């Protein structure tokens, strides 16, 4: 780029220097927009990185895994593989979450055979081998932990660690603390396979077998597969890990979408700030043009200005984003830990890619936002430049075209989201088209509001305020749009969360209709109820009906699939909500051996009632007819209910995880008193009332969306800055006008009221416009984005509360933004401004 | 081959004794050097080889868990029909962790550990391939049993004939890169009891001895895989059996061990103990086995041993891989040289073990073991 003439450079610098507030607000808009995007990105990448590190550390060099039908593999199968020539190296692994007694802290127990590990996990066996091996191999209850774990548990070598495992108390002796201090080992207890077998109560079984295929010929894997007993499968760890990461991908998407929305708001602010600085300098540009400055020079001057602002704003934004990211990272890690897998986030990972992305968005976005105002400034002839009413005329002429384009974008957005087959990406693209469309329509609505409000029989300051709406449309248009976008994003997310909460609540309520649920303690880790308990419980006079459940972890197309083998009582059946068929049809097919498939699974795999679904069983793969598709929010991977009479002949295992009991009209407490004596001390039971599960589930749900709440407030904050900057710019520009008003007798209070009223009108218009926009966005979010990302659908719940809240927030933001301008303007002595020209 | 046993005590000591404070943890994956740990006393609960014993076969082919260490040690020189020559080493070590049985709460518990070393030397290609494995003796993952003889560590195994119980023996070992399947016949040579009727003393200290017998020439045939290519091979193997609970003297650094099969039908075993001063020690000894199985004892007085050439490993360790070995009263004067200079075993324990070629007064082949050279 050629150097700018000195005069223009000075004009630009002087302008910013004389309007520090405006420069500051533009910078704040850019910085906040960049900061939010960077913070969200950092939080996401930190959570992902931590997960990957710990997953990698645990799996080490293993490339494949031999897994069993119910999460365990017979030890005998491992022996057969280990003693057969020609197979790749392998190692047995036992893994489970256990709980520290007292604190309730969850720790991962990892049972490894040190001597099979040489080629697998590099640090871990070395850590064990440094200790006394004699006792490691032949004495019970020994564990090795990392320095990080020791520090966080407050224990050291030789101490005893009390654990609660499947309802029983155990004490492990810490024989050694190894030097590893990464966060990934903080929750890890290393024990020998023998110790793990005893602690986890799985004699004759291990969790899985790790295999290093390396660059061995594929035949050796084929040979291994051929040796596997029925029910065991060889899976690639990459695929297994990917599906675990896939769990969080949906969650990440939520955050990323929020971050991008925030950026969008940020871009409006930038546009706002840029177009104000142009509008304010129209006189200057007119004079410059009159003395011979070329349009392209003005254009370049404005773009250079934007570039400088963008650079400063983006850098501040990066810094701010890094700080914000720290808090957000913790929040995301907490949510991910609660919902998906455990992650510990120690320090903020400053992912350079995230920072670069933020910088690019800040610079590119600002330049993009400045293009139109700069073009406007450069292209209007000198004569109109000098006339302000010319600008407003110009803008008014443009407005219908913008509105038309906006309407087109709205339609296009909806079509993208609902009609085109393009998956999640097209749904998100549709969402953005919808938002931009709504933004373009916004200025056109101002004259409409103006006409409407004019009819109201109000006088005085009110008439002034209403009249000003139309007079300042070029400035108010963008400010209103920015606030509208922020508010509609907030309202759409509120509606989505509320719809989802409602749907989840209904679903839980219908499904959890039993009076009492009985499970073994530690059922979360797959603990099973004692043999014969179900029969004894059913023989009690207090118990009218019972449903039995057995949870299985199978996999479908290399992704984990939760299968519930269920013997369902009539009342339990009533809790299912089917999508494609009538309940009677579904239950007839179920009783004939068909399976129930959850909606997310049906959507992911493309299953319909009547299709057949192949599942791995101990007797090899079997096909089951799909009896029906039920609404389900339990897992985005999907769930399958398998009839008990189909399960039993194949798995030949009568043990169950959960019993759901229906009483003869007594309350849950009576039922519990009747059943409790059947529990033995050896195998403690957990009794849960439906209400309790319901409350806990919704608590988890609310925690999940805590991050969303935070982001929503952040984007509102950005919008607030936007409206403040717009109002301040307007008020500053109108100082002369206000001085005249003061001079003709308007009091300070009246003037302040005028400013406040104008601002409130603006807020109200933005809030009103945000309602339909927000509802449309919510519709796209729930019916298109959620369906495509998670596979579940839900009815849209519209309640007045978020809408009213939104209106309130819009007005509040507008009022707060007006306070300072109203105060300064009213306080100023009008005389100097009258003399200004 | 008794020396390898002493040598192995080192490993045992290393595995069992905790690391010095501040040092990095070392596991089976780390390489360790021969060190003063050799002097660590064995657990007093293990029996010691204090006097000659009456051997009982085939029971004595199996494990002796009342002793701390034991091994089944096979080496041999093999040749394909096309003349490609190979050496191999296949050793299964048993390590007693504690004298008694382990805790009984889980079948995974073990008081015995097995370690396997497997190497193939490709003499034409001047390459040496080796691997190492470990397993606890539990759940049938590794162990030793008789009737018929079976010693195994995962898929590596030495399996006796179902009818005779022992010979012919089937050896099976595989890794990703190389493998060996070999059948070993008993041949005509009888079993040789080393030392005093199979009681082999290592130093003047009482009980510092082992039980030790050898099969010095077992006709062997089978196949070797290098990469994806298989070679049909035949030749002779040398099979050593030894168990003990003894440790190396504090002044001893290592040893040089020779197992040679001469073309005239005689087999020669000789080892030289080296003190930390680098000098040969009085406890060096060996045997010369005639074709008919008659044995002459070798000792430092009637046997002369002199290194004549060295191979330097990448770390700068000098291994004597060429020797002159002479037994004047038997008219034997041999040049022994490594068939491949680099046959260093870089595993949990670092040593040099490899095929050698014999020339001079007699020609032949054999195996050489050099220990205690690396990073002392």
Mean pLDDT of the region A287-301: 81
Flag whether B49 is in a domain. Answer: no
Please tell me whether residues A96 and A162 are part of one structural domain.
yes
In this prediction, residue A247 carries a pLDDT of 42
User: Poorest-confidence range of A409-418, A453-462, A520-529, A656-665?
Assistant: A520-529
B61-93 burial: b if 16+ Cβ within 10 Å, else e: bbbbbebbbbbbbbbbbbebeeebbbbbbbbbb
d(CA A110, CA A118): 16
For residue A596, pLDDT beyond 80: yes
Taking 50 as the threshold, does the pLDDT of residue B4 lie above it? Answer: no
Are the Cβ atoms of A134 and B179 closer than 8 angstroms?
Answer: no
Q: Residue A550: inside a domain, yes or no?
A: yes
Q: How many domains does one find in chain A?
A: 4
Picking from A60, A85, A121, A138 by the largest number of B CB atoms within 10 A of its own CB, the best residue to mutate is: A138
Res. A597: pLDDT tops 80 = yes
Partner-chain contact B155 A193, CB within 8 Å = no
Q: Would residue A426 count as lying in a domain?
A: no
Q: Cβ–Cβ of A115/B135 closer than 8 Å?
A: yes
- Residue A730 has a pLDDT of 67
Mean pLDDT across the stretch A419-447?
Answer: 82
Q: What percent of chain A has pLDDT over 90?
A: 6
Nearest Cβ partner for B155 among A87, A140, A198: A87
Q: CB under 8 Å to A361, separation ≥6 — which residues?
A: A33, A34, A37, A263
Closest CA in chain A for residue B172: A85
Q: What is the spatial distance between Cα B157 and Cα B143, in angstroms, rounded to a whole number? A: 10
- Residues A32 and A91 placed together within one structural domain of the fold: no
Provide, as residue numbers in chain B, all residues whose Cβ is less than 8 Å from the Cβ of A129.
15, 25-28
Q: Which of A192, A330, A313 is closest to A263 using CA atoms?
A: A313
Residue B155 in contact with partner chain A when CB distance is under 8 A: yes
Contacts of B30 in chain A (CB under 8 A): 126
How near does any CA of chain B get to the CA of A196, in Å? 9
CB contact under 8 A, A217 and B103: no
Phi/psi-derived region of residue A745, left when phi > 0, alpha when psi is between -120 and 50, beta in every other case:
left
Q: Mind telling me how many Å the CA of A51 is from chain B's nearest CA?
A: 26
CA A234 to chain CA mean position, Å: 32
A-chain residues near B152 (CB < 8 A): 83
For residue B25, is it within any domain?
A: no
pLDDT in tens, A169-210: 899 998 888 776 665 677 788 899 999 999 988 899 998 898
With respect to residue B203, please indicate whether it lies within any of the assigned structural domains: yes
Neighbours of A101 (CB within 10 A): 15
* Chain A CB contacts of B24 below 8 Å: 126, 179
Window 14-43 of B, Cβ < 8 Å to A:
15-19, 24-30
Residues A248 and A268 reside in one and the same domain: yes
Cβ pair A618, A67 in contact under 8 A = no
Give the pLDDT of residue A348.
56
- The predicted structure's pLDDT at residue B27: 34
Q: How far is B191 from chain A (nearest CA, A)?
A: 30
Render pLDDT for B177-236 as a digit per residue (tens, 0 to 9). 899 999 999 988 899 998 888 988 777 777 778 899 999 999 999 999 999 899 999 999
pLDDT-derived band of residue B131, with 50, 70 and 90 as boundaries? very high
Over pLDDT 70: what percentage of chain B?
A: 87
How many CB atoms neighbour CB A177 within 10 A?
21
With b meaning 16 or more CB within 10 Å and e meaning fewer, what string describes A206-215?
A: bbbbbbbbee
**pLDDT of A243:** 47
Which of the four pLDDT bands, split at 50, 70 and 90, describes residue B349?
Answer: confident
Please tell me the number of Cα atoms within 13 Å of A528 on its side-chain side: 17
Total of domains in chain B: 1
Distance CA(B256)–CA(A105), nearest Å, equals: 57
DSSP secondary-structure letter at A795?
A: P
Task: Report which of residues A713 and B187 the model is more confident about.
Answer: B187
Whether B182 maps to a domain, the answer reads yes
Distance CA A641, CA A639 (A): 7
Judged against a pLDDT cut of 80, whether residue B295 lies above it is answered with yes
Domain-located, residue A422:
no
Question: Does A712 lie in the same domain as A835?
Answer: yes
DSSP lists the bridge partners of residue B89 as B75, B119
- Parent domain of B221: 2-19+58-371
The reply to whether A498 and A568 lie within a common domain is no
Give the residue from A60, A134, A192, A200 with the most B CB atoms within 10 Å of its CB, the best one to mutate: A134
When comparing pLDDT for A191 and A378, which is higher? A191
B309 touching chain A per CB within 8 A: no
Q: What is the pLDDT averaged over residues B266-285?
A: 83
Same domain, A500 and A522: no
Say whether both A647 and A727 belong to one domain: no
Residue B26 has pLDDT above 50, yes or no: no
| Domain presence at residue B138 | yes
What pLDDT score does A153 carry?
Answer: 86
Q: Determine whether the interchain pair B28/A115 forms a contact, defined as Cβ–Cβ distance below 8 Å.
A: yes
Q: How does pLDDT run across A69-107, given as a tens digit for each residue?
A: 777 899 999 999 999 988 888 889 898 878 888 877 778
- pLDDT mean over A617-639: 83
> What average pLDDT does this structure show over A534-547?
84
A137, B136: Cβ pair inside 8 Å?
yes
Answer whether B110 sits within 8 Å of A132, measured CB to CB.
Answer: no
Q: Is the peptide bond before A458 cis (omega within 30 degrees of 0)?
A: no
Q: Is any Cβ of chain A less than 8 angstroms from the Cβ of B159? A: no
Which 3 state secondary structure label does DSSP give A324?
helix
Highest-scoring range by mean pLDDT, A91-95, A401-405, A661-665, B86-90: B86-90
**Alpha-carbon gap, residue B356 to A400, rounded angstroms:** 96
| CB-closest option in A133, A194, A197 to B16 | A133
Closest CB to A198: pick one of B97, B106, B110.
B106
**Contact partners, residue A565, CB within 8 Å, separation at least 6:** A549, A550, A552, A642, A643, A644, A647, A648, A651
Please give, one letter per residue, the 3-state secondary structure of chain B: CHHHHHHHHHHHHHHHCCCCCCCCCCCCCCCECCCHHHHCCCCCCCCCCCCCCCCCCCHHHCCCCCCCEEEEEEEEEEEECCCCEEEEEEEEEEEECCCCCCCCCCCCCCCEEEEEEEEEEECCCCEEEEEEEEEECCCCCEEEECCCCEEEECCEEEECCCCCCCCCEEEEEECCCEEEEEEECCCCCCCEECCECCEEECCCCCCCEEEEEEEEEEEEEEEEEECCEEEEEEEEEEEEEEEECCCCCCCEEEEEEEEEEECCCCEEEEEEEEECCCCECCCCEEEEECCCCCEEEECCCCCEEEEEEEEECCCCCEEEEEEEEEEHHHCEEEEEEECCCCCEEECCEEEEEEEEEEEECCCEEEEEEEECCCCC
| Residues recorded for chain B | 376
Question: Domain residues for A118?
Answer: 70-230
Does the beta-carbon distance from B27 to A137 stay under 8 Å?
no
By the 8 A CB rule, do A642 and A595 touch? yes
Q: What is the pLDDT of residue A255?
A: 63
Mean pLDDT of A123-151: 71
Length of chain A: 837
Q: What's the whole-model pTM score? A: 0.62
Q: Is the same domain home to A683 and A535? A: yes
B141 pLDDT above the threshold of 90: yes
- Mean pLDDT confidence for A758-777: 86
Question: How far is Cα A333 from Cα A349, in angstroms, rounded to an integer?
Answer: 13
Average pLDDT, chain A: 77
Report the residue from B18, B113, B140 with minimal CB separation from A132: B18
**Which residues from A are below 8 Å from B when comparing CB atoms?**
75, 79, 82-88, 113-119, 122, 125-134, 137-140, 178-179, 192-195, 197-198, 203, 214-217
Q: How far is CA A580 from CA A585, A635, A637, in A?
A: 10, 19, 19
Cβ proximity of A399 and A447 under 8 Å: yes
My answer on whether A673 and A727 are in the same domain is no
Q: Is the Cβ of B104 closer than 8 Å to some Cβ of chain A?
A: no
Mean pLDDT of B302-309: 94
**CA torsion, ordered A287, A288, A289, A294, to nearest 10 deg:** 180
Q: Which residues of B touch A132 (CB under 8 A)?
A: 16-18
Q: What tokens appear for A647 in the block?
A: 């399960």
Contacts of B105 in chain A (CB under 8 A): 140, 194, 198
A290 and A142 part of one domain: no
User: Least CB-CB distance to B98: which of A119, A131, A138?
Assistant: A138
* Stretch A42-54: mean pLDDT: 66
All residues of chain B having their beta carbon less than 8 Å from the beta carbon of residue A93 are none
pLDDT score of A364: 87
Q: What is the CATH number of the domain that holds B117?
A: 2.40.370.10
- Determine the pLDDT at residue A726: 66
Q: Is B44 on the interface with A (CB under 8 A)?
A: no
CA distance A295 to A617: 76
Query: How many angstroms away from the CA of B104 is the closest CA of chain A?
Result: 9
How confident is the model at residue B339, as a pLDDT?
96
The verdict on A248 and A369 lying in the same domain is: yes
Share of chain A above pLDDT 70, in %: 77
pLDDT score of A358 more than 60: yes
In the predicted model, is pLDDT for residue A826 greater than 90? no
On whether any CB of chain A is under 8 Å from the CB of B108, the answer is yes
> What pLDDT band is residue A213 in, cutting at 50, 70 and 90?
confident
Domain boundary pick from A230, A253, A275: A230
Domain-located, residue A484? yes
The arithmetic mean of pLDDT across residues A662-688, rounded, is 74
Q: A125 vs B29: CB contact, 8 Å cut-off?
A: yes
* Residue B39 covered by a domain: no
Paired tokens of A427 = 């749904």
3-state secondary structure of A191: strand
Distance from CA of A223 to the nearest CA of B (A): 14
Closest partner residue to B105 (CB to CB) among A75, A117, A140 is: A140
Interchain contact, B27 vs A193, CB within 8 Å: no
Q: Which residue has the higher pLDDT, A11 or B215?
A: B215
Are A116 and B134 an interchain contact pair (Cβ–Cβ within 8 Å)? yes
Q: What's phi and psi for B228, nearest 5 deg?
A: -105, 0
Residue range A470-484, pLDDT digits in tens? 777 766 777 778 778
SS3 of residue A326 by DSSP: helix
Give phi and psi for A730, each to the nearest 5: -60, -50
SS3 A346: coil
Min Cα separation A175/chain B (Å): 11
**Hey, are the CB atoms on A115 and B27 less than 8 Å from each other?**
no
* Contacts A122 to B, Cβ<8 Å: 29
Task: Pick A138's closest partner by Cβ from B102, B134, B176.
Answer: B102
Q: How far is A239 from chain B (nearest CA, A)?
A: 24
Residue A745 shares a structural domain with residue A718? yes
Given an 8 Å threshold on Cβ–Cβ distance, is B113 in contact with A114?
no
In B, which residues are within 8 Å of A217 by CB distance?
Answer: 228
Q: Please state, in angstroms and as integers, the Cα–Cα distance from residue B231 to each residue in A361, B22, B235, following that order.
A: 64, 49, 13
* Residue B29 to residue A122, Cβ atoms within 8 A: yes
User: Please, are residues B246 and B202 in contact by the beta-carbon 8 Å criterion?
Assistant: yes
How would you classify the pairing of strands A595-598 and A620-630? parallel
Mean pLDDT of B105-118: 91
pLDDT of residue A803: 72
For helices A423-454 and A461-471, the axis angle rounded to 10 degrees is 130
- Judge contact between A145 and A133, C-beta under 8 A: no
- Structure-model confidence comparison of residues B171 and A107, the more confident one: B171
In a domain, B165, yes or no: yes
CB contacts < 8 A, A to B, total: 126
Contact B18 A116 (CB under 8 A): no
């Amino acid at each position: 780029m050629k150097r700018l003439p000195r005069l223009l450079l000075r004009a630009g610098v002087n302008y910013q220097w004389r309007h520090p507030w405006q420069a500051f607000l533009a910078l704040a808009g850019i910085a906040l927009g960049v900061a939010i995007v960077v913070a969200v990105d950092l939080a996401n990448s930190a959570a992902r990185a931590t997960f990957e590190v710990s997953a990698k550390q645990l799996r080490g060099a293993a490339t494949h895994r031999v897994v069993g039908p119910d999460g365990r593999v017979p030890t005998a199968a491992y022996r057969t593989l280990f003693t057969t020539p020609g197979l790749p190296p392998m190692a047995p692994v036992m893994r489970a979450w256990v709980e520290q007694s007292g604190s309730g802290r969850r720790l991962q127990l990892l049972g490894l055979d040190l001597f099979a590990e040489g080629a697998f996990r590099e640090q871990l066996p070395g850590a064990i081998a440094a200790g006394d091996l004699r006792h490691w191999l032949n004495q019970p209850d020994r564990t090795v932990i990392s320095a990080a774990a020791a520090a966080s548990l407050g224990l050291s070598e030789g101490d005893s660690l009390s654990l609660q495992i499947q309802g029983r108390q155990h004490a492990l002796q810490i024989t050694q603390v190894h030097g590893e201090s990464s966060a990934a080992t903080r929750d890890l207890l290393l024990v020998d396979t023998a110790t793990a077998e005893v602690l986890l109560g799985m004699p004759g079984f291990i969790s899985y077998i790790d295999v290093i295929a390396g660059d061995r010929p594929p035949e050796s894997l084929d040979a291994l597969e051929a040796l596997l007993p029925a029910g065991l499968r060889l899976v690639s760890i990459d695929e297994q890990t990917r599906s675990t990461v896939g769990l969080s991908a949906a969650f990440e998407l939520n955050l990323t979408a929020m971050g991008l929305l925030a950026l969008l708001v940020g871009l409006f602010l930038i546009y706002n700030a840029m177009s104000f600085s142009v509008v304010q300098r129209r006189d200057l540009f007119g004079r410059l043009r009159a003395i011979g400055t070329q349009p392209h020079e003005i254009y370049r001057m404005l773009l250079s200005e934007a570039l400088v602002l963008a650079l400063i704003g983006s850098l501040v934004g990066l810094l701010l984003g890094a700080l914000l990211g720290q808090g957000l990272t913790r929040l995301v890690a907490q949510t991910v830990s609660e919902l998906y897998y455990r992650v510990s986030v120690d320090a903020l990972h400053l992912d350079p890619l995230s920072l670069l992305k933020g910088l690019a968005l800040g610079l590119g976005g600002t330049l993009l936002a400045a293009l139109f105002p700069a073009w406007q400034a450069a292209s209007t002839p000198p004569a109109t430049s000098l006339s302000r009413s010319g600008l407003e005329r110009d803008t008014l002429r443009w407005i219908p075209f913008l509105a038309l384009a906006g309407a087109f974008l709205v339609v296009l957005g909806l079509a993208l989201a609902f009609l085109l087959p393009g998956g999640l990406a097209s749904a998100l693209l549709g969402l953005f088209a919808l938002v931009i469309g709504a933004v373009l329509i916004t200025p056109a609505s101002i004259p409409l509001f103006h006409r409407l409000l004019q009819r109201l029989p109000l006088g005085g300051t009110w008439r002034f305020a209403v009249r000003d709406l139309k007079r300042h449309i070029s400035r108010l248009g963008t400010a209103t749009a920015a606030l509208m976008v922020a508010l509609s994003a907030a309202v759409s997310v509120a509606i989505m969360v509320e719809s989802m909460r409602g749907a989840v609540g209904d679903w839980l309520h219908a499904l959890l209709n039993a009076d009492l649920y009985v499970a073994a303690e530690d059922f979360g880790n797959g603990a099973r109820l004692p043999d014969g308990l179900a029969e004894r419980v059913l023989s009690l006079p207090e118990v009218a009906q019972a449903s039995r459940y057995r949870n299985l972890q199978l996999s479908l197309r290399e992704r984990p699939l939760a299968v519930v083998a269920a013997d369902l009582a009539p009342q339990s059946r009533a809790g299912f909500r089917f999508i494609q068929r009538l309940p009677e049809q579904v239950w007839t097919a179920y009783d004939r051996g068909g399976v129930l498939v959850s909606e997310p699974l049906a959507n992911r795999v493309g299953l319909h009632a009547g299709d057949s679904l192949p599942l791995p069983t101990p007797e090899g793969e079997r096909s089951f007819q799909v009896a029906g598709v039920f609404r389900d929010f339990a897992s985005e991977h999907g769930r399958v209910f398998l009839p008990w009479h189909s399960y039993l002949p194949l798995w030949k295992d009568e043990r169950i995880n959960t019993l759901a009991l229906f009483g003869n009209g007594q309350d849950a407490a009576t039922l519990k008193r009747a059943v409790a004596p059947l529990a033995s001390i050896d195998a403690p039971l957990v009794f849960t009332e439906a209400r309790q599960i319901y409350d806990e589930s919704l608590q988890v749900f609310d925690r999940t969306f805590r991050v969303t709440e935070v982001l929503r407030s952040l984007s509102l904050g950005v919008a607030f800055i936007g409206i403040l900057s717009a109002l301040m710019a307007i008020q500053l520009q109108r100082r002369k006008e206000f001085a005249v008003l003061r001079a003709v007798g308007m009091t300070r209070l009246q003037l302040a009221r005028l400013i406040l009223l104008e601002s409130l009108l603006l807020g109200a218009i933005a809030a009103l416009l945000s309602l339909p926009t927000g509802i449309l966005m919510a519709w796209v979010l729930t019916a298109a984005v959620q369906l495509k990302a998670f596979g579940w659908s839900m009815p849209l719940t519209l309640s007045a509360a978020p809408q009213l809240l939104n209106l309130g927030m819009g007005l509040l933001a507008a009022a707060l933004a007006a306070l300072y301008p109203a105060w300064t303007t009213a306080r100023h002595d009008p005389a100097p401004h009258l003399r200004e020209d | 081959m008794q020396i390898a046993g002493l040598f192995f005590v080192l490993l045992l000591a290393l595995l069992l004794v905790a690391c010095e404070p501040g040092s990095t943890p070392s596991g089976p994956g780390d390489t360790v050097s021969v060190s003063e740990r050799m002097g660590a006393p064995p657990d007093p609960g293990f029996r010691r080889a204090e006097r000659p014993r009456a051997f009982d076969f085939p029971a004595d082919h199996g494990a002796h868990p009342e002793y701390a260490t034991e091994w089944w040690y096979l080496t041999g020189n093999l040749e394909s029909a096309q003349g490609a020559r190979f050496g191999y080493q296949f050793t299964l070590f048993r390590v007693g962790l504690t004298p008694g049985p382990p805790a009984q709460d889980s079948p995974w518990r073990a008081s015995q550990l097995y370690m396997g070393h497997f190497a193939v030397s490709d003499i034409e290609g001047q390459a040496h391939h080796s691997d190492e494995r470990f397993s606890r003796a539990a759940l049938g993952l590794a162990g030793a049993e008789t009737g018929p003889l079976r010693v195994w560590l995962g898929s590596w195994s030495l399996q006796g004939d179902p009818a005779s119980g022992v010979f012919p023996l089937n050896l099976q070992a595989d890794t990703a890169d190389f493998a060996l399947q070999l059948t070993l016949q008993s041949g005509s040579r009888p079993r040789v009891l080393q030392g005093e009727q199979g009681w082999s003393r290592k130093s003047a200290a009482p009980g510092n001895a082992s039980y030790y017998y050898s099969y010095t020439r077992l006709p062997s045939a089978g196949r070797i895989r290098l990469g994806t290519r298989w070679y049909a091979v035949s030749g002779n193997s040398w099979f050593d059996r030894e168990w003990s609970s003894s440790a190396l003297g504090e002044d001893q650094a290592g040893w040089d061990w020779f197992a040679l099969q001469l073309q005239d039908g005689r087999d020669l075993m000789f080892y030289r103990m080296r003190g930390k001063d680098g000098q040969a020690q009085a406890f060096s000894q060996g045997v010369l086995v005639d074709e008919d199985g008659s044995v002459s004892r070798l000792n430092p007085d009637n046997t002369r041993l002199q290194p004549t050439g060295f191979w330097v490993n990448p770390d700068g360790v000098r291994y004597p891989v060429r020797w002159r070995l002479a037994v004047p009263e038997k008219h034997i004067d041999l040049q022994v040289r490594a068939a491949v200079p680099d046959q260093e075993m870089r595993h949990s324990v670092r040593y040099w073990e490899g095929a050698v070629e014999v020339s001079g007064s007699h020609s032949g082949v054999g195996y050489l073991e050099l220990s205690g050279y690396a990073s002392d």
